[in-house]
Amino acid sequence: MSLTARLDVSAVPLQGAYVAKRCPVRAQNDIVGPVEPLPPSEVLQRRLDRGLRFEADVVAELHELHPGATFVESGKPAERVELTLDAMRRGAVLIVGGRLPDDLAGRRVGEPDLLIRASDSDGYLPVDIKHHRTLRDRPESGNCIEALTSELAFPSVAAASTRPDLAARKNKDDLLQLAHYRRMLQACGQAGGSGHAGIVGKEQRVVWYDLDSPVWKTRSTSERWKLRSTMEVYDFEFGFRLDIVATAQRHQLDPGVELLVVPVRIHECDQCPWRDHCLDELARTDDVSLLRRTGWRGWKAHADHGVRTRADLAALDWRTADLVAHGVDVRAILDELAKHPPATPIADIVGCRKTAQSARLEAAGINTAGDARALDPRTASYSGSGLSRLAEQIDEARAAISAEPVFRARGVEHICVPRADVEVDLDLESTEDGAYLWGALVTDRAHTGLAASGYRSFVTWEPVTAATELAVFGRLWAWLSDLRDSVHRKGKTMCVYCYNERVEADALRRLAGPNELAGVADLVTSDEWVDLLRITQAALVTGTGLGLKQLAPLAGFSWEDDDAGGEQSMIWHDLAVGDADSATRQANRQRILDYNRNDVEATLALRRWLAAVGSSLPAVADLRPMG
């Protein structure tokens, strides 16, 4: 048993497997209760419900495959613990739905979905069931986790084999949860000899992970980066949250006791019951984490340098930050300046072995020690912090606190959006099971007559399966490739636009069969394929983000549905496909089609706006530091 809490946590309530992977501020607020927590959103509740249904389906499959397994299906917690312990003492090969004994010393409670007897000891390995994919295509290069998998009929490490064409998805939340169960198994003397644990995902196979393998890149006080195992990361995260809860309990008794953590804007916020409370506080304090892609790690790096607000960040020096972001140790250079006269060449200060830094400094107009004295020491203190986006963040902070909503990025004099005789704006809608709708908005700018301008959809209202997904893709691709061929034959030009090609292009590649693969590859690697997100990322700076929902209103576009969103559309799809009432089904089908049409209309409006006024937007480089 490993416990890394630094405070007395003996009075902390027993914590489940989720706490180590959740935001630490949530653990604190769960004790303090600053306001009434929000109920789960429709989106979150749907996700939870689907997860439970998937788990029930897997358990039913295990019933069929392993009628002799131990199924702990009901009873009070204490009764379930006794049934689980009894099964482990008897050496049951598979235990489903068990509950482990409370780990009082470690302050843990937990219910792994499956416990599988280890082949190398008398102990057990934990396995959890998750409603998401656990495998992906193995990249041709780069580090990845090998796909060690076993079938549900033979759910053991001994029966597992590797797939050279696949890699295991590295889902940190899943693995932290498994680490929690492993510590509980160790506490009751029932842990298997190896560090393996498994996830049953949508592929309905057990994917095995080595929890002792160093796979997580983390910051260290003694060195810049260190690879740590899942168990090491879990022990830190869980112990940290025990300290947080213990301190929150003391704060409840004595408000003079300072809480350990403060709100930070992270991806988890959107579905947190304390969301509104934290976001109100962040807005009130102009917190630096309100900037996109900052996260906890970026927030901590800024806080370590005394930068807490967007205004603080906006006051830093951009030129110094750009050097720091490109790996120049400006702090060390400034420390050396007192030893050299102003005319000393900068290469002499940096050192002959650091030619890349010298070149970067000279490109920024820093040729001598005298030039370097113009750099900002406070910004230079970020040297070695690992913030590769420091200069970008300064521009975003200046944009966020300015009166204008959007600016041209540095170095951008003219914003060019490719145009063509025939233009197609493309967008897909999907659920966790796959893509069921492709929408295309055609603009025949040259009046070629090859395709009528307007919106068309390729959709199925059957439950999404591999077969229905392929059928919809087939109809889309037959139309799109025929149109492209016709445009080429007539000597005209064509462009296909999307907003974030990681969605549409990846889906096209994934769904293309042997007959379509070459055509898909030819399209998405050609100049005819235009990712509007990539253009906006290179050309624009805002203080709020570059999502389509954020930028299209600047072009005067608004969605017809006030509740429009990709995750919300999944709820509509459930109703469109499965509701018993035909009127409800029809209303939600039309709602989805209208939403998809609005998405492609939004990309058209945005690119027209960029072409018309983008080049006349104010330049972010003209914004001066504030404060």
State residue 348's pLDDT score. 84
Distance of alpha carbon 265 from alpha carbon 284, whole angstroms? 13
3-state DSSP call for residue 150? Answer: strand
pLDDT < 50: residue spans in the chain? 222-223
| pLDDT reported for residue 122 | 84
Contact residues for 237 (Cβ-Cβ < 8 A; gap 6+): 20, 21, 176
Tokens for 77, please give them.
């917690």
**DSSP bridge pairs for 207:** 149, 199
Model pLDDT, residue 222 = 45
Q: Are 209 and 168 in contact (CB under 8 A)?
A: yes
Q: What's the chain's length in residues?
A: 627
CATH architecture classification, 422-616: 2-Layer Sandwich (3.30)
At 432, the amino acid letter reads E
DSSP string across 15-81? B-TTGGGS-HHHHHHHHH--SPPPPPPHHHHHHHHHHHHHHHHHHHHHHHH-TTSEE--SS-HHHHH
pLDDT at position 3: 65
Q: What is the DSSP string of 89-121?
A: HHT-SEEES--PPPBTTTTB----SEEEE-TTS
- List of residues 6+ apart from 281 with CB closer than 8 A: 262, 263, 287
CB-based contact 135:189 (threshold 8 Å): no
Residue in 81, 60, 90, 320 with CA at minimum distance from that of residue 204: 60
Q: What is the CA radius of gyration of the chain?
A: 28
Query: Cβ of 598: how many Cβ atoms within 10 Å?
Result: 21
Q: Which of 574, 561, 480, 594 is nearest to 528 (CA)?
A: 480
- Domain ranges (residues) in the chain: 40-219+225-230, 267-401, 422-616
Q: Taking Cα atoms as reference points, which of 356, 469, 429, 456 lies closest to residue 588? A: 429
The Cα–Cα gap between 215 and 408 comes to 39
pLDDT of residue 240: 96
